[in-house]
């Protein structure tokens, strides 16, 4: 059970009596980014205030303390996802990780080889593959979705072939919020000898992630959607794959030595993927976020989000003026439109009531072709949301047809 | 039509009317028209503005595409306002419109129906919806200008 009142005491964003200016703060845009607890902010501050020095290079005690803090954090993050610390490479975010994986896998792609994606992928799991497909003359295939928008093992089988080299899918879609049967999909992918890349951006902060149990080959996510600092992400890869993969970025820290003839000997993973000075305070903050989420408990988070989602879906259905695109999806994401109201008009009306949601295509720009709508409103939940947030959402949606009130009343 | 921003009911009505029945909503295939496509990652609007300029006069303006109520109504109203006007008058209208959105003193008389957007800045994020077509027009007129360089 989650005691939201108590949880909110951990989050400075709620310290002003859960208000934002004159508005109540009903923050329902958690699929875009999450609030950060004091413990994360404190961990970041600890670097800047107490141990500001670079890692991996100093011979003085301060620099040594940074190494200890960085490695300690790295170990916590690795354990959080049941990876070996050598398999956890820090990036600037999910997009950068997905780009490294896509470009890094170019050598295994030949003309006519196939990369399998889906229609509900975020731009970060589509556009790098478009580029790599163009460079290698590989072909992009899409898993057909079921009528309600799910990806099933049966449908994946339909597109897998001996030419499939990579399957890259989000564990949870950021628009519809369906949870993929990932273990089955990975097994099918491996049966045809292909690699499975998981985009965990939307799942990492909401569901327990165990890379060994899932058996994924690569998995990327951002820190900021899981209560961690902005501008940081993780690219996980099985060690032997990381060992074989070429880094996209070259520079300091990632090489052991080089000479004027162009000979470069690279560091071992993860260092060879971490060119340049790393986001050390970010890594320390992410470790604090991992510990915080573990303390709240993923079973609690999941149960809480499902309860709130069900409440929202029932309320919106009762209002009678909304189309809900994903009433049955597992994640705390409700994607909908209010009849006859353009998504942005609805979202901006909701904002005037302190209900902060997102409108648009949510970076999954292929999906409107499937949903048959230009844009949608998306409310996305997290464990610090409460029933009042949902009641405010339902109440505001009830009157969203009067969206021009914002400007004239 | 003459009305003032003290008549919110009428302002609402004008916006809704232009949203539901957009004026000059038509795709033209004539290459003499300058076509500008306005879209962005942060906004759902996907709007094409088409302008025909002859001897310094905007002799026609059409538009098509998809947008929210504010951008649709504003584009519709703009096309009505600028048709038949000189390029310099249209630019003047744009300046006054932008002043209004920025909450600065502006000339109400030159703006006609467009003053129904006077309070759109109550939600600052919607200012870009209200001026998307005007930004498109500016680009179109700059293109036209280049033709004569």
Q: Which domain holds residue A308?
A: 4-30+297-408
Q: What DSSP line would sit under A310-328, residue for residue?
A: HHHHHHHHHH--EEES-TT
Say whether both A389 and A280 belong to one domain.
no
Residue A18 DSSP code: T
Position A124 scores a pLDDT of 95
Report if residue A243 sits inside a domain.
yes
Number of domains within chain A? 2
Say whether both A165 and A121 belong to one domain.
yes
Q: A384: closest CA among A25, A42, A43? A: A25
Mutating which of A127, A337, A404, A409 best tests the B interface, going by the most B Cβ atoms within 10 A? Answer: A404
As assigned by CATH, the class of the B8-147 domain is alpha beta
Report if residue A36 sits inside a domain.
no
Q: Nearest CA to CA, how far is A240 from chain B (Å)?
A: 38
The answer to whether B44 contacts A359, with C-beta atoms less than 8 Å apart, is yes
Say whether both A130 and A86 belong to one domain.
yes
Dist CA A142 CA A393 (whole Å): 34
Report if residue A318 sits inside a domain.
yes
The C-alpha torsion from A262 through A241 and A195 to A76, rounded to 10°, is: -120
Say whether both A227 and A321 belong to one domain.
no
Question: pLDDT for B86-127, tens place per residue?
Answer: 999 999 999 999 999 999 999 999 999 999 999 999 988 899
Q: Which residues on chain A are in Cβ contact (under 8 Å) with B8?
A: 408-409
Say whether both A101 and A250 belong to one domain.
yes
Q: Nearest CA to CA, how far is A23 from chain B (Å)?
A: 13
Q: B123: closest CA among A356, A389, A397? A: A356
A26: β partners: A355
Say whether both A395 and A337 belong to one domain.
yes
Its ipTM equals 0.81
Say whether both A143 and A201 belong to one domain.
yes
Q: Distances from the Cα of A17 to the Cαs of A24, A40, A335, in angstroms?
A: 9, 21, 28
The C-alpha torsion from A177 through A181 and A186 to A188, rounded to 10°, is: -130
Q: Token pair of A166, please? A: 């990579």
Position B41 scores a pLDDT of 62
The answer to whether B125 contacts A343, with C-beta atoms less than 8 Å apart, is no
Say whether both A173 and A216 belong to one domain.
yes
Say whether both A238 and A272 belong to one domain.
yes
CATH classification at residue A340: 3.90.1150.10
Report if residue A311 sits inside a domain.
yes
Question: pLDDT for A225-283, tens place per residue?
Answer: 999 999 999 999 999 999 999 999 988 878 877 887 888 888 899 999 998 899 999 99
Position A369 scores a pLDDT of 75
Q: A333-338 and A322-324 as β-strands: parallel, antiparallel, unpaired? A: antiparallel
Q: Which of A276, A295, A314 is the last residue of a domain?
A: A295
Provide the chain A residues 358-377 that lie in CB contact (below 8 A) with chain B. 359-361, 374-375
Position A352 scores a pLDDT of 93
Report if residue A206 sits inside a domain.
yes
Name the pLDDT band for B5 (thresholds 50, 70, 90). Answer: low
Q: Which of A275, A295, A315 is the last residue of a domain?
A: A295
Say whether both A347 and A393 belong to one domain.
yes
Dist CA A148 CA A327 (whole Å): 10
Position A1 scores a pLDDT of 87
Q: Nearest CA to CA, how far is B24 from chain A (Å)?
A: 20
The C-alpha torsion from B13 through B17 and B23 to B25, rounded to 10°, is: 140
Dist CA A160 CA A183 (whole Å): 16
Q: Which of A238, A261, A295 is the last residue of a domain?
A: A295
Say whether both A66 and A136 belong to one domain.
yes
Weakly modelled stretches of chain A, pLDDT under 50: none
Position B1 scores a pLDDT of 47
Q: Are A88 and A234 in contact (CB under 8 A)?
A: yes
Q: Is A21 left (phi over 0), alpha (psi -120 to 50) or beta?
A: left
> Can you tell me which residue has the tokens 């949510």?
A362
Query: H helices then E strands: how many in chain B?
Result: 6, 3
Catalytic residues of A: 363
A180: β partners: none
Annotated domain spans of chain B: 8-147
Report if residue A35 sits inside a domain.
no
Say whether both A285 and A164 belong to one domain.
yes
B40 touches chain A (CB under 8 A): no
């Amino acid at each position: 059970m989650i005691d939201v009142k108590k949880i909110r005491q951990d989050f400075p964003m709620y310290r002003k009596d859960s208000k934002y200016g004159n508005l109540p703060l009903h923050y329902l845009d958690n699929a875009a980014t999450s609030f950060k607890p004091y413990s994360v902010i404190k961990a970041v501050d600890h670097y800047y205030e107490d141990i500001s020095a670079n890692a991996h290079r100093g011979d003085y005690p301060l620099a040594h303390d940074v190494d200890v803090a960085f490695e300690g954090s790295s170990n916590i993050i690795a354990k959080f996802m049941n990876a070996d610390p050598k398999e956890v490479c820090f990036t600037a975010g999910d997009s950068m990780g997905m780009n490294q994986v896509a470009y890094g896998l170019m050598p295994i792609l030949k003309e006519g080889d196939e990369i399998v994606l889906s229609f509900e992928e975020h731009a970060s799991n589509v556009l790098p593959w478009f580029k790599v497909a163009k460079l290698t003359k590989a072909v992009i295939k899409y898993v057909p979705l079921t009528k309600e928008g799910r990806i099933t093992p049966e449908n994946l089988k339909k597109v897998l072939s001996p030419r499939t080299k990579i399957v890259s899918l989000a564990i949870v879609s950021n628009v519809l919020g369906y949870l993929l049967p990932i273990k089955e999909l990975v097994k099918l992918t491996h049966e045809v000898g292909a690699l499975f890349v998981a985009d965990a951006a939307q799942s990492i902060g909401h569901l327990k992630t165990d890379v060994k149990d899932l058996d994924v080959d690569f998995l990327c996510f951002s820190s900021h959607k899981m209560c961690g600092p902005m501008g940081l992400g993780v690219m996980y890869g099985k060690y032997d794959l990381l060992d074989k993969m070429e880094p996209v970025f070259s520079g300091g820290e990632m090489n052991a030595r080089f000479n004027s003839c162009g000979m470069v000997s690279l560091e071992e993973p993860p260092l060879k993927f971490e060119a340049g000075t790393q986001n050390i305070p970010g890594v320390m903050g992410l470790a604090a976020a991992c510990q915080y989420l573990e303390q709240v408990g993923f079973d609690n988070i999941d149960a809480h989000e499902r309860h709130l989602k069900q409440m929202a879906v029932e309320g919106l259905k009762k209002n009678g003026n909304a189309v809900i695109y994903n009433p049955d999806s597992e994640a705390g994401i409700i994607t909908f439109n209010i009849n006859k109201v353009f998504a942005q008009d609805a979202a901006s009306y909701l904002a005037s009531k302190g209900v902060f949601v997102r409108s648009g295509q949510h970076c999954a720009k292929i999906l409107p072709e499937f949903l048959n709508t230009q844009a949608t409103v998306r409310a996305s939940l997290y464990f610090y949301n409460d029933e009042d947030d949902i009641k405010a959402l339902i109440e505001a949606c009830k009157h969203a047809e009067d969206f021009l009130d914002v400007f004239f009343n | 039509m003459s009305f003032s921003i003290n008549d919110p009911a009428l302002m609402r009505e004008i916006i809704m009317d232009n949203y539901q029945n957009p004026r000059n909503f038509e795709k033209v295939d004539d290459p003499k028209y300058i076509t500008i496509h306005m879209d962005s990652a942060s906004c759902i609007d996907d709007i094409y503005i088409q302008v025909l300029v002859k001897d310094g006069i905007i002799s026609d303006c059409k538009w098509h595409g998809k947008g929210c109520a504010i951008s649709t109504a504003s584009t519709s109203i703009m096309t009505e306002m600028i048709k038949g006007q000189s390029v310099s008058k249209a630019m003047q209208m744009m300046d006054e419109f932008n002043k209004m959105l920025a909450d600065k003193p502006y000339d109400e008389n030159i703006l006609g129906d467009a003053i129904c957007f006077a309070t759109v800045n109550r939600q600052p994020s919607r200012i870009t919806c209200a001026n998307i077509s005007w930004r498109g027009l500016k680009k179109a007129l700059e293109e036209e200008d280049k033709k004569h360089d």
